[in-house]
């Protein structure tokens, strides 16, 4: 298992790489290029510079999160083959610099959705929350609120230029239902997985966040059955999963422990995002501190499912709260994520020693 933390690069992240290195047990950072338009090939000189920075700080960069998928691939537009060719070249380029896992998602229009990016907890810390009444508004209003509340940071998957035309984008998805979106995912995977096999890279799809339909959009990565179907349809170890405990548990019908155990056993869990959430009522929730007592997930069971089934992939804490006066990119402060790392590694050490 390799413990990592997500780093948004020298321009977009105010946390210096050295600070990640100082978190006990952190071996690598998970990075991405944020100045390459979605759909373009990632140039080798930029990859080299990015990976080189991590190495210079004594950290690995073997996981990329994310190489985002162009809408034309998700929609199945005629131009998709060009974007798929670009994606294949990006995979080859990343492999050349030691990248082993590519995390991505297949959510239409935008990435994760939260309705409150500065939700105040009783102890005064700030976190992100999703409450259903927050999406009972017009699409433009919801998009505007997310963008206005991002504390001035660019949010991957929420590119303002793209979302300025959100209605047009929605219209392009008008005849894309779950089945069509699924076919488009499989078309993409059938094309890129052979390249991954050849160059030793693993694809790892991230679950939808939230894992159910919002604004009538199709959703195909929402539960155990969806994840199994994805693994089975393109049946290669290079076609795997990023299991995000926070995202998948946003649907209380999902058994996160069973999903983790099964995917690990099958050798398809390449990357784990481990965070806790607290269900407020129905499907409303906020992202809590990592320890079990603060949220709805039993983090010991989460780590045990990984441990007992021989997990050997990459792992990172997911979002953290803002504590100790820290401000910045919602979900990605240093302090609370560092506490998460320490806690998760503590559970892991206990699991290791208990078996001796």
Which stretches of the chain bind ligand CS2, using CB under 6 A? 65-66, 103-105, 111-112, 157, 206, 244, 273, 318, 331
**Least distance from C-beta 125 to ligand CS2, angstroms?**
18
* 244 in contact with Mn ion (CB under 5 A): yes
Q: Is 244 part of the annotated catalytic residue set? A: yes
Q: Measure the CA–CA gap between 347 and 82, rounded to whole angstroms.
A: 45
Catalytic residue selected from 71, 209, 244, 290: 244
Contact between 237 and 274 (Cβ < 8 Å):
no
Catalytic residue selected from 97, 318, 336, 343: 318
Catalytic residue selected from 70, 119, 319, 336: 319
Closer residue to ligand CS2 in complex, CB, 66/264? 66
Q: Measure the CA–CA gap between 9 and 142, rounded to whole angstroms.
A: 28
Q: Measure the CA–CA gap between 218 and 178, rounded to whole angstroms.
A: 5
Q: Measure the CA–CA gap between 285 and 247, rounded to whole angstroms.
A: 11
Interface residue with Mn ion among 273, 307, 329, 337 (CB under 5 A) is: 273
Interface residue with Mn ion among 318, 331, 337, 345 (CB under 5 A) is: 318
Q: Measure the CA–CA gap between 5 and 13, rounded to whole angstroms.
A: 12
**Least distance from C-beta 206 to Mn ion, angstroms?**
6
Task: Provide, for the chain, the percentages of residues in helix, strand and coil under a 3-state DSSP scheme, each rounded to the nearest 5.
Answer: 40, 15, 40
Q: Measure the CA–CA gap between 122 and 124, rounded to whole angstroms.
A: 5
**Closest to 321 in 3D by CA, of 332, 311, 306, 310:** 332
Q: Is 319 part of the annotated catalytic residue set? A: yes
Closer residue to ligand CS2 in complex, CB, 124/160? 160
Q: Is 206 part of the annotated catalytic residue set? A: yes
DSSP 282: T
* 113 in contact with Mn ion (CB under 5 A): no
Helix (H) or strand (E) holding 131: none
Closer residue to ligand CS2 in complex, CB, 65/226? 65
Closer residue to ligand CS2 in complex, CB, 66/86? 66
Q: Which residues are catalytic?
A: 206, 244, 273, 318-319, 332
What residue ranges bind Mn ion (CB under 5 A)? 244, 273, 318
């Amino acid at each position: 298992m390799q413990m990592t933390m997500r780093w948004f690069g020298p321009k977009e992240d105010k946390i210096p790489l050295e600070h990640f290195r100082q978190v006990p047990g952190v071996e690598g950072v998970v990075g991405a290029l944020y100045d390459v338009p979605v759909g373009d090939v990632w140039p080798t000189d930029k990859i080299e510079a990015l990976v080189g920075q991590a190495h210079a700080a004594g950290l690995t960069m073997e996981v990329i999160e994310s190489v985002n998928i162009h809408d034309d691939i998700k929609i199945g537009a005629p131009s998709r083959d060009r974007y798929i060719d670009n994606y294949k070249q990006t995979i080859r380029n990343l492999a050349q610099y030691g990248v082993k896992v590519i995390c991505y998602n297949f959510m239409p229009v935008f990435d994760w959705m939260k309705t409150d990016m500065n939700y105040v907890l009783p102890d005064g810390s700030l976190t992100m929350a999703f409450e259903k009444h927050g999406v009972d508004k017009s699409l433009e209003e919801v998009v505007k609120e997310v963008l206005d509340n991002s504390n001035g940071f660019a949010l991957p998957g929420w590119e303002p230029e793209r979302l300025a035309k959100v209605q047009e984008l929605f219209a392009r998805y008008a005849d894309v239902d779950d089945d069509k979106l699924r076919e488009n995912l499989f078309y993409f995977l059938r094309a890129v997985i052979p390249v991954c096999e050849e160059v030793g890279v693993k694809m790892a799809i991230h679950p939808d966040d939230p894992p159910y339909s919002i604004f009538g959009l199709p959703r195909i990565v929402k539960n155990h059955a969806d994840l199994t179907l994805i693994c089975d349809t393109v049946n290669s170890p290079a076609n795997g999963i990023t299991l995000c405990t926070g995202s998948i548990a946003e649907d209380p019908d999902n058994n996160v422990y069973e999903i983790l155990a099964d995917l690990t056993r099958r050798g398809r869990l390449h990357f784990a995002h481990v965070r806790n959430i607290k269900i407020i009522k129905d499907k409303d929730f906020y992202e809590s501190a990592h320890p079990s007592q603060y949220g709805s997930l039993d983090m010991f069971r989460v780590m045990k499912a990984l441990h007992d089934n021989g997990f050997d992939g990459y792992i990172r804490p997911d979002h953290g709260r803002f504590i100790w006066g820290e401000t910045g990119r919602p979900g990605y402060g240093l302090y609370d994520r560092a506490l998460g790392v320490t806690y998760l590694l503590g559970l892991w050490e206990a699991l290791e020693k208990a078996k001796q």
